[in-house]
Structure 1
Amino acid sequence: MTVVCLPDSHAVELLGPVPDGVRVVAWNGEADQPDGLAETTFWVPQVEDSTDLPGKFAAMPKLKVMQLLSAGVEDVAGHVPEGVQLCDARGVHGSSVAELVLALILASNRRLPHFLDAQRRGVWDLVQGEDLRDKRVLIIGAGDLGEQTARRLRSFDAEPVLVAHSARDGVHATAELPDLLPDADVVVLTLPLTSKTEGLVDAEFLASMPAGSLLVNVARGKIVDTDALVAELTSGRLRAALDVVEPEPLPEGHPLWSAPGVIITPHAAGDITQAGARAFALVNAQLRRYLAGEPLINVVEGDY
């Protein structure tokens, strides 16, 4: 009997039918533990749940696979016991997040916040915007999300430029950023948060972006120096569209709320009606690979 642990009863419904010989239990990580939890070998925790990981791992001493529902693993990586494979949800949220990237770029470039404000005031107030044709869009993070974003940008006749930690065919290295940033009309952050990327977008990085250019962050808030960004926005030199911020959630009265030229969404990029079904389709397929002794996909190794 293989025991699979899911975060709640809704997750059990989303998982759907499982092979014979599989028992599914629901546990939200709290003190009240279901029967059979100690036999769990395949665990799907709540989204971005990193509280008391040692205690949760101790409750499942036979665990072999920890399958996340998110692409980001920064709160978990480095804490997983030896012998447990950590897998992320790469590929599940890429389309919805890339779609929001396009929406944010278009909203900022076509000045939708200005027009919405004018509409609320009942004022016919025309301002000139920008289109995406021939715009150079620097995408920092060349994984699934970066690739999906680039593909959509090409359909708008933009010029996406992919950047990753190491160069490869068609992808620049982050070491090249000082040469790439001055020519970027838009900079999109789609990279994971690691010890190497935290604070990457600092005052020097922002100063290298051209006046009037746009920073879009759908990665993690800690990649950007918030104070440095507020300074650039306040001066009017740069614009920003942020789905993630630091701190998060953004507290009432924070200067980012009132900074000029910024659009803020509340970490909503992956929050769509189909997200759960897509994530658990991956979980179901991954579980079947595990039961069949096949190699798992999306295995996270080292400093991802």
Structure 2
Amino acid sequence: MPIVTLPFAELVDRFGPVPDGVELDVWDVEGPYDRPDDVAITLLPFYFAGRHRWQFVHDLPNLRLLQLPSAGYEHALPHAPAHAQVANGRGIHDDETAELAVGLALTSLREIHTFQADRTAGVWDVRTTRSLADRRVTVVGYGAIGVAIATRFEAMRCDVTVVARTAREQDGRHVHAFGDLPDLAGRTDVLVLITPLTDETEHLVDADLLAALPDGALVVNVARGRVVDTDALVAELERGRLSAALDVTDPEPLPAGHPLWSTPNTVLTPHVGGNTDLSVPRTLELVRRQVSALAAGHPFANVVHG
């Protein structure tokens, strides 16, 4: 009987009915699984670091699907066994990450973080801040999360431009190519990054692109830290020319003493874009679909490799 392993007992308890001929089991990938020949689908733990534990996944000779709980998959592809398909968590974190992107922008522009610091200090300082409405927002990355982000910024009455690897028409929007970014930067007030990390997107936002942004522009990164040249961003922040609102950094976790702990005009959250109370139910929705596909002999969803 094919086994589907889930990393936490809570997921098994909340899964609901299982198709005939399929078994659920708990396996956190912290050690070898005791019935390796029977595992057909494995859901990795959230933010699975792997390291030596990847060997336990390779020891599953009949694994058909390695399911990731994250939209990003660059961390898994170099280690995934060749005989299994890999699926990402597209759809799980769309709403969560889009909410955070807008929240980070609002926190920075409306200076919510500094008002909270004033509260701690017992200071009542009424001052004018910047509105998000009417800002020119460029969203870099136009997958499912990018669509969710663009839609929310439009609802906030922003002028939204979207950019992806290739130019196209989608959802009634013109999608610009990465090559258009240098021209778009000069008319961007808020640059939102949600593109996957690939060889093409590593340091996509480099010193030249940052320099092309107008004075006072805001960089919001909910993608991966290495999409931005951190040293170049730090230089712009220390000059006070740009602002940043970051959920991801390079390196990550951010080590003690790193300049981003103390740069001005900076809002920082510790990679929590997909970490809300929606994560578990949305993950279960996707895994239920994959298990149904397994039982019916249908193709898996969200396959990114294999």
Query: Could you tell me the TM-score, scaled by structure 2's length?
Result: 0.94
Partner of 2:85: 85
Partner of 1:44: 43
* 1:54 shift after superposition: 5.0
How far does the alpha carbon of each residue in 1:184-210 deviate from its partner, in whole angstroms, 9 at most, with x for none?
000000011111111211111211111
Partner of 1:122: 122
Q: How does 1:228-247 map to 2 (within 5 A)?
A: 228-247=232-251
In structure 2, C-alpha distance between the alignment counterparts of 1:167 and 1:148, rounded to whole Å: 18
Conserved? CA contact 1:118–1:125, under 8 Å:
yes
| SS of structure 1 residue aligned to 2:102 | helix
Partner of 1:298: 302
How far does the alpha carbon of each residue in 1:162-197 deviate from its partner, in whole angstroms, 9 at most, with x for none?
100000012000000110011000000001111111
In structure 2, C-alpha distance between the alignment counterparts of 1:81 and 1:123, rounded to whole Å: 57
* 1:74 shift after superposition: 0.7
* 1:53 shift after superposition: 5.8
* 1:89 shift after superposition: 0.8
Q: Which segments of 5 or more consecutive residues in structure 1 lack a partner in the other structure?
A: none
In structure 1, C-alpha distance between the alignment counterparts of 2:24 and 2:113, rounded to whole Å: 47
Partner of 1:102: 102
In structure 2, C-alpha distance between the alignment counterparts of 1:54 and 1:269, rounded to whole Å: 25
Conserved? CA contact 2:64–2:83, under 8 Å:
yes
Which shifted more, 265-274 or 177-186?
265-274
Conserved? CA contact 1:6–1:26, under 8 Å:
yes
Partner of 2:111: 111
In structure 2, C-alpha distance between the alignment counterparts of 1:290 and 1:20, rounded to whole Å: 11
How far does the alpha carbon of each residue in 1:47-93 deviate from its partner, in whole angstroms, 9 at most, with x for none?
23232365123320011111111111011124333342111110110
| SS of structure 2 residue aligned to 1:52 | helix
| SS of structure 1 residue aligned to 2:192 | strand
Conserved? CA contact 1:48–1:75, under 8 Å:
no
Which amino acid is the alignment partner of residue 136 of structure 2? Answer: R
Which amino acid is the alignment partner of residue 258 of structure 2? Answer: H
Partner of 1:9: 9
Find the partner of 1:174 among 163, 178, 199.
178
Conserved? CA contact 1:14–1:276, under 8 Å:
no
In structure 1, C-alpha distance between the alignment counterparts of 2:8 and 2:66, rounded to whole Å: 16
Conserved? CA contact 2:222–2:273, under 8 Å:
yes
Q: How does 1:61-210 map to 2 (within 5 A)?
A: 61-169=61-169, 170-210=174-214
In structure 2, C-alpha distance between the alignment counterparts of 1:277 and 1:23, rounded to whole Å: 20
Higher relative contact order (CA 8 A, sep 6+): 2
Query: Could you tell me the TM-score, scaled by structure 1's length?
Result: 0.94
* 1:118 shift after superposition: 1.8
Q: RMSD across aligned C-alpha pairs, in angstroms?
A: 1.6
Conserved? CA contact 2:222–2:247, under 8 Å:
yes
In structure 1, C-alpha distance between the alignment counterparts of 2:94 and 2:220, rounded to whole Å: 15
In structure 1, C-alpha distance between the alignment counterparts of 2:76 and 2:257, rounded to whole Å: 31
In structure 1, C-alpha distance between the alignment counterparts of 2:71 and 2:193, rounded to whole Å: 14
Partner of 2:259: 255
In structure 1, C-alpha distance between the alignment counterparts of 2:155 and 2:219, rounded to whole Å: 20
Which amino acid is the alignment partner of residue 264 of structure 1? Answer: L
In structure 2, C-alpha distance between the alignment counterparts of 1:274 and 1:31, rounded to whole Å: 28
Q: Which segments of 5 or more consecutive residues in structure 2 lack a partner in the other structure?
A: none
Structure 1 pair 120–172 and aligned structure 2 pair: CA distance change class (3 A): same
In structure 2, C-alpha distance between the alignment counterparts of 1:60 and 1:151, rounded to whole Å: 41
Which shifted more, 288-297 or 260-269?
288-297
Paired residue total: 301
* 1:16 shift after superposition: 2.7
In structure 1, C-alpha distance between the alignment counterparts of 2:51 and 2:183, rounded to whole Å: 41
Conserved? CA contact 2:30–2:53, under 8 Å:
no
Conserved? CA contact 2:244–2:267, under 8 Å:
yes
Conserved? CA contact 2:139–2:160, under 8 Å:
yes
Conserved? CA contact 2:95–2:145, under 8 Å:
yes
* 1:145 shift after superposition: 0.8
* 1:114 shift after superposition: 2.1
| SS of structure 2 residue aligned to 1:196 | coil
